[in-house]
Every structure is written in C-alpha cells, then in structure tokens.
Structure 1
Amino acid sequence: MQETLKTVTKTNTDWEAIRSQFPILKHEVNGHKLVYLDNGASSQMPQRVIDRINDYHSNEHANVHRGIHTLSQKATDAFELARKRMRKFINAQYEEEIIYTTGTTDSINLVAQSYGRKHFNEGDEILISAMEHHANIVPWQMIAEQTGAVLKVIPMDNNGELLLNEFHRLLSSKTKMVAVVHVSNTLGTINPVQEIIESAHAYDVPVLIDGAQAVPHMKVDVQALDADFYAFSAHKMCGPTGFGILYGKRKLLNEMPPYRGGGDMIDKVTFEKTTWNDIPHKFEAGTPPISAGVGFAETIAFLNEIGMDNIAAREQELLKYATEKLSMIDGLQIVGTAKSKASVISFLLKDIHPTDVGTILDQKSIAVRTGHHCTQPIMDSFGIPGTARASISFYNSKDDIDRLVDGIKYVQEFF
C-alpha cells in the first residue's frame, strides 16, 4: 500500500507572501537572484524564526532547568515550548515522548546505542533498507559490531521502490529492529511505512522511522502510524541547525538506559552509584542548544499557520511541474521514479559529471546538491558516482523551476 500526499489546499494561501518572509531568497549570488533548490540538505529560515532567536539572545538568555531565578525560568519556558508544540505537531500521546537531540543522526544513534545495547545479542538481525541515508546505516553497523547482531538489507527496484515481498521474507523471529526511511533524501520515494510497521509488529519487532525528509513535507501522525521511534531534524523544516527530535513510545523509553551521562539527566549522584532522571530528561545530558530550541518552537507555529496539508499540496504541484519540464530536456535522466514521491528530483545529464552540473548552475545562482547525498549504497546500486539533486520547498516557485531548466540547458551548451 503506497502512501500518497493529500492534494487539498486552501484557495487563499498566498505563496508569494509566504516566500517574502525568507530574507535569503532576496539575495543575489554571482549577479543573479538566488534560486535555492537544496532544501533536502537544509531549508531556509523565515524572518520570524531568526527574530525569535535574536530576541532570546537579547532578552531571555540563561541556562535552563537548573535556575530558580526569573531569567532561567523564562528561558526554560521558552525552551520547553517546542516540546509542547511538537507533541501536537506529530500527535504524540505524551510530552515526555518528545526527546530533544542535536538532529536525526543523534536521534538514531541514541536508539541504536540505548535500545540496542540492552536488547541485541549474537545472531540477532536488524533490518534496514537499500535506500537509507548513512545516518540510518552506520549507527546500526556500529551496534551490530558491538553486540554480534547482523544487518540485513531490504532491496529496492530500478524505480527506487522497496521490494516489500523481500521485506516480508527477511522479517523473522531473529529480527530485533526494523529501521527504515520514510522519504528517501536522494530518490524522493515515500515508503509505505505504515505497512512496514504493522508487519514488524506482528513479530513484536519495534520500528524506527527516519523522518528527516518526511516531517517537513507532509503531516505525520506517530500514533496513527504506530511508530515506536521517529527521528527528524529542525534545520530541514525551516528551523535552526543543531536541534532535532526523537519521538519514542513512553514504555520503550522508560525501559532504555541513558545514551549519554552528565548534568540534568540524573536523579541522584554519589561516587558509588547514580540514578537517572525521568524521561525526557534522562536522554538530555548537559546544557542543550537552548536558542535553537526556542527558535524551533517559533518554526512549529509558522508551519502550523500555513498548514502541513497546504505545504504538501504546494510541493506536489511544484514537483509535478518540475518533473514535466525536466523530462522534456534531451539527455536528462531522472533517477528515482517511484509512484509516490516527495519533492525531490535527482538527475543525470548525459556525459556531464554531476559536480560540473552543480558548479555551472551555481554561476547562474541556482543552488542544487551534487554527489552521493550520503547514500553511497544507492549510487552503487544504480552504478553511478552521484547525481545532481533539486529538492523543492513550499517557498519555491514555478519561476525557480524555469530558472533551473534554463540553467540545465546552459550547462549542456557550455559542454
């Protein structure tokens, strides 16, 4: 069962007004107005988020959770607001199921080390997919080496779709974790994660979903999915860098040991023994990135005001337009043609290296990503060194796509 994005949008959504709230989009690079199509790596921040971070530094800065003075309490409230808003944003049942991390990578490492050290043994199996980002491969390789567990890979076809029959074949009583990406950062494929979760749960196997490329582009309901763990990053959804979220079911988090030790994650410390704080703080050692958390709370409010269904519909409109336009260019090959896709287009130009494509496009102030996109196994499976990737956000426009098309034609003329 493929998941598709909703196509309902409000008729009164003023996308140009929304676009105008992103100051960097007014900039020129190399004498041309910026076309920013590298949102899969990091999206841009609206002015109100930038202002909120600056306001925190100017008027509220103090350490959180530890002070009884007014400024510390004010900072704590502002920092914890992101947790309250995020619970509703992804429909978690409890606030304490929202763990602050430094990003998707940190979230996955937390689960791999904390859950994995407790539950994985020699010969146990961890299932991941062939389209995973390195952040959802390497942590599982590391814990497998530490525990004697074995990594198994769900293959995909030439369209960039998972072979679910192979997933069902691999799933067994030996499986102790399934970790799959919701949306591929390279191919744009939207995986049928609900079906994967249901199948894994039939074996009483927990599932971690890498949602770094999903949460910015669609409405995610972790209770409806019945996900055990769900990881994502603020900087891919118009928020600041260095901040992320791990959602985990309360029962699982309560049973897991801490991933890191230090201040704030403790209950009582003696030289003989230390006891742990309750969740979520058990997993949040040390002084956190406070200003990023404060800014992220504002980001969530911003996205809520636009509406995730509207964002999904807008991006699908732009994806369709871009796919049609790019498909008309002679010598251009789109890599990743799944039926259900988010707004990512990876492509190759015949006989022109992706790095050269990106370099020449940059001369026209068109920012795309080139290389393997931290998915080297995907490139190996297609037998290519890398791709150029245009990743589209709701604040992009059809004019941006037209500029990209003209830029690609210029690249072809150049070579």
Structure 2
Amino acid sequence: MTSEFDSETLLTRATQLIELAKAAGADQADAVVVRSRSKSVSVRLGKVEGTEASESDDFSLRVFVGNRVASVSANPGFDIKTLAERAVAMARVSPEDPYACLADERNLARHYPDLDLYDATEVPTDALRDAALDMEQAALDVDGVKNSSGAGASAGMGGLVLVTSHGFSGSYMATRFGRSVSVIAGEGTKMERDYDFDSRLFFADLDDPKDIGRRAGERVVKRVNPRQVPTGKDLTVVFDPRLARGFVGHIAGAINGASVARKTSFLRDKMGKQVLKSGLSITDDPMIVRGSSSRPFDGEGVSGKRLVMIEDGVLNHWFLSTSTGRELGLETNGRGARGGTSVGPSSTNLALEPGDVSPEDLIRGIGNGFYVTELIGQGVNMVTGEYSRGATGFWIENGELAYAVSEVTIASNLKDMFMRLTPANDIDRKFGVASPTIAIEGMTLAGQ
C-alpha cells in the first residue's frame, strides 16, 4: 500500500491531546488514532460494477475525572484544545462509573514485538479488477453454473496509535487483501447460490483467483436439486469449517467477560467447570506472527499472551479488558479492544484445537446424519443457550455425502452442543477464528 502510516506525527498529535485534557482538568486520559486506507473493485458478468477507494483518520479522546468518564471523537482538522475541553466538561457531568479507568501502569507493554502484519505491496486497481474477473470466469466455467452474483477484490491497511496519560505510547499497522465470488446454479425456483473467498495480511499469500472461482462453482453445483428430509431427533450434525468458525464464535461470545458481567451469558457460572468434552481445548493468541487478528498490544496498551481459554474441556479464562476485569474482581488479560470511543474485551486469534480424525473418517463413522454448509437466521439466545437455525447442506447416508438438502431447521441448546462436539483434524489457521470440521451429536432436525 502506498499510503504511509506517519506514526510519529499521529503520536505527537495524540500526546498533545492528552496534555490539553490534563490541563483542562482530567485526572487521566488516553487518545487513539485509527487510520484506514482501502480500495476495491467489484464486477458482474464480465463488467466492472464499482470501484471504491476510501481514507480516514479517526481521533478519539477518553478522559477521566474521578470516577466519571467521557469520550469524544473527531476527524482531522479539529481544534484539539476545544476537543479536550469539551471532553472534560462532558466527564464532569457524567454519572460515576466505579469500573472505568485506564489499565494499571504495571500492566502496560513497555516492549512489544514486530508481528510482521504489514505488506507494502502496492496492488494497482487494474490488478484488482483482473483478479475479480478471473474469479468470476473460473466459476462460470464450471459445468452447471448459470449466473453470477458478482466478484470482488480489495486491498487495504489499518493503523492504530495509542497514547495514555500514564506513560504508554505505541503504534502498529496491518494490511488486508481479499478476494470473493458468488455464483448461481439451477433455474427458476430451484436456483441455488454459493460462494468462496480468501482474506490475507500478505498479498502473496492469497489463493489464486481461478482456484477461488472454481471452488465457488463446484460448491454451488453440488447444491442443485435439494431434497427435504423427515423430522428427526438425536441426529448427528456436521458443520463445514466455514460454519464451524461461526460456532466457535458463539463459544467466544459466551466467555466474553462483558457478557458475564451483564449476566447475559449462559456460561456465566461455569468458571473452572467442564463446558466442552474432555480432551478439547480452545486457545487465543494475539502474538502469532502474521496472524489474522494479531496485535502487539491491545486497545489499552496491554500486551496479551497466549491463553488456553478452555483446557481439556474446563473453562479457565474470560476475555477481559481492564474495566470488565475490575467489575468481575479480576485483572485484564490484554483482550481490550477499541470499539468507537469505548473499550471492551474480545478474542484475538481464536482456535478450537483439532482432533485426530480426518473429516472423511469423522463422517464415515456417523453412518446417517446431516452435513451443514449454510445457516439461515439468527436463532441463537446467548442468555439461555437455545439454538435454532435454518440450514442447508447434504444428507449423510452410510457414511457418505448422498444428496443436497434444504429447508430444514436444526435445534438444540449450546450447553449440550458444546458437550457433544467432536472436532476433525482439518483446521486452517489463516482466519482470526479457526476451527476444523466439527460433528455434534444429539441435535433435532425439523424437516417434512
């Protein structure tokens, strides 16, 4: 990317904001600058549909006056003295928050590693266009593909600068390149749609556009002429890795300290107890070199370390920022993330660690069941754990994928699903949430 990340200028401006906030009466403060640059090209049926480019520098200032806190944000060109004074004035009339504070000084990162998150490769707009066109054409060349929903390619970068009033000053930047395509097979009311994509920090690591297109075409053709299946209970449902990543995201949401503090997680009373089958573990590691969600420090200036969130099925940790940790009587574990002007806990490079069986053998051992490739709807209640989603996929018969299935609903409770989960060994760690194929026993399927 050609847009330079001038961290020194931004650090200086953020430092000035802090100094002006303290001069206006703030006891503590932190300032964040988020810089983003991106461009993308979208095509459909061999023609360019859109070309976009965007740039932004977003400043935010958070100030503390006693136990009162306020945050303000602005774009470049603002008067920093006015912004600082406004933030302090807002804090003085805000309600008290006993948990709001900066990270403890002893937890601040004094030294942090270069995680190799930035690729200086400049990708011309023409190259983005050509990649999108190649993806789409490769998908359309698959026998049975009838139409395209479009393809796109993108390149972007994001940088973070953070300065606090108690001594932290740091910055890092990361790039992101992406390719995606969606196509249609079948005709009339029997049309089916599917897609494929890739997203990487480094341009050279991206899958070839033609491979992405071919995979999308092959996926959608397999879904043509789906059948319905009868309603059944105690069924084993297998989640494709793309959907398994979303399922692991439900686990992350349930062990997020903010949800626990709000009492909106069905696992809020499970610390130190069994939540997955014995032998299963979930890890979170912000320090992976070239990791999709790596960061040398979090949104509060704290360096996180690799944590085994769930080990041998037992819950060991919540995701914690400083304020969430204080509310729960715990200490931050470096999972604070900036969201606008606020800080809340989040995962980084999260992974359901793989099992020791191939996905083929996992399916073969099931006999009859359901392999899910797409989920529909938002029927997940994180307070109770109730789970009910529309689904499409393939019926498993005698240990093989037999035929496409649509218009069914799968249901259970996440507590039970977690305890009945079996992972395969096909994990792909290139995404921020990584999971192998997973099988979950004892689910209900509502069909005909």
- TM range, normalised to the smaller chain? under 0.3
Q: With structure 2 as the length reference, what TM-score do the two structures score?
A: 0.23
Query: Quick check: which one's helix share is greater?
Result: 1
User: Could you tell me the TM-score, scaled by structure 1's length?
Assistant: 0.24
- Structure with greater Cα Rg: 2
Identify which of structures 1 and 2 has the higher relative contact order when contacts are C-alpha pairs closer than 8 Å and 6+ apart.
Answer: 1
